[in-house]
Structure 1
Amino acid sequence: MTRETPVLRTDPVQRLLGAATEAFAERGFHATTTRDIAGRAGMSPAALYVHFRSKEEVLYHIALRGHREARQIVADAPAGLATHAERLRAMVHDFACWHAGEHTMGRVVQYELDALDPAHRTEVVLLREQIESDVLGEISAGIATGEFGTPDAKGATLVLLSLCVDVARWYRPDGRLSPAEIGDLYGNTALRVVAAR
């Protein structure tokens, strides 16, 4: 599982993206200025415009990276597992773990999407839909084989993804549960939500 990474990096683009991620998570997109981002990165405000056309483009790169990571985690989770229950548990476990381990990025990519330009938002929403499709497909397949007792694959998908996404909002590294423990809790909860037999 990935962990939060420090802002101080040698590559200026990565420094700016790391600084922006922290600023957007703390203050929100609209309350964050390009001066805030550059200052956190140890750079001048003009330096941001060498690499990005706008503050919105910075958010777009963060949102794209975060959604690609999350989508890959969900797609890779069921590899080598035999049953729909095992595969669904792994998907939910790893998705919840990612939102804990990368909670700062998770807060930005899940809660600041409305600030994206329409074309950028469309591209990011497509990745969100792919995550939803992966989970929905696994639940639907489990219902078809009789492994899951829920009659509502779409509802179960909505519940499980919403629970995982919300981890980024409340998780704290000094809290009671580690990312792995959250993953276990949510993965086991997923099986109850779909009435796994």
Structure 2
Amino acid sequence: MTTTPSRAEATRARLLEAAVVAFSEKGFHGTTTRDIAGAAGMSPAAVYVHHRSKEELLFLISRQGHQQALDTVRAARARTPDPVGQVAAVGRAFAEFHAHHHTVARILNYELAALSEEHRATIDELRTGIDRELRDLVREGVAAGVFDTPDPALAATALASLGIDIARWYREDGEWTPTQIGDYYADLALRLVGADASGVSGRPGSSSC
């Protein structure tokens, strides 16, 4: 059964979408509440009716985006118990996430300093969750003897950085689709951790027989 959002919920969502557009174009500090309200087709007063401040809008965008990123990594890991298959799935899914959500992802990674101390702590907890998932994955692969990397923690950080950087350069009218990027980054992830990828199903250039 589908629940229809209330008018207030729909208005809050519209303001969030407008804030994403405004923050991505002008940055947090360069954006005014008038910019956000105008992008949403509302009066500036409407922002304060539904949200306490411009900073709260940034926090809500950041919390939702980081939670989606964490869920993406966890879902990719859950697809298989095999660390090699997991790292390929994570490399692909994390890359595709940052391509599909490149506008939001740029805000998530470049506007953190504008958050209040309390809100930053909440976001840092989510970011730590992503880091923990990746570190656990690489550590488990090394322990199982299927990854060959001298520094598992640094490999996990590099794995995260691969995906995050996509948001900086990806454009919807660019040379590569999210699927092409996902395939390539799945292969990069395998190479990064020193995995034997010869039997990984769905790897570019691999065969399943």
TM-score (norm 2): 0.88
Q: Identity, % of aligned pairs?
A: 47
Q: Distance in 2 between matches of 1:53 and 1:83?
A: 46
Indicate the residue corresponding to 1:44 in structure 2: 43
In the TM superposition, structure 1's runs of 4+ consecutive aligned residues that sit over 6 Å from their partners are none
Matched residue type, 1:33: T
Aligned equivalent of 1:165:
164
Aligned CA-pair RMSD: 1.0
Rounded Cα–Cα distance in structure 2 between residues aligned with 1:37 and 1:66: 19
Structure 1 partner of 2:173:
174
What secondary structure is seen at the aligned counterpart in 1 of 2:171?
Answer: coil
Q: Report what 2:32 is aligned to.
A: 33
Per the TM alignment, residue 65 of structure 1 is displaced from its structure 2 partner at its CA by: 0.5
1:65 and 2:56 are equivalent in the alignment: no
Larger Rg: 2
- CA offset at residue 78 of structure 1? 2.0
Q: Which amino acid aligns with 2:169?
A: W
**Equivalences for residues 82-97 of structure 1 within 5 A:** 82-97=81-96
Structure 1 unaligned runs (5+)?
Answer: 1-9
Q: Which residue of 1 aligns with 2:123?
A: 124
Task: Quote the Cα distance in structure 1 between the aligned partners of 2:92 and 2:146.
Answer: 19
Measured in 2, the distance between the counterparts of 1:88 and 1:133 equals 14
How much does 1:90 deviate?
0.7
The answer for unaligned runs of 5 or more in structure 2 is 1-8, 197-209
Residue 142 of structure 2 contacts residue 148 of structure 2 at CA under 8 Å; is this kept in 1? yes
Give the length in aligned residue pairs: 188
Q: Which has the higher contact order (CA 8 A, sep 6+)?
A: 1
Q: Is the 8 A contact 2:88 2:189 kept in 1?
A: yes
Read off the aligned partner of 1:97 and give its amino acid letter: E
**1:143–1:151 Cα contact (<8 Å) kept:** no
Q: Does 1:79 align with 2:72?
A: no
User: What residue identity is the alignment partner of 2:193?
Assistant: V
CA contact (8 A) 2:95 2:182 kept: yes
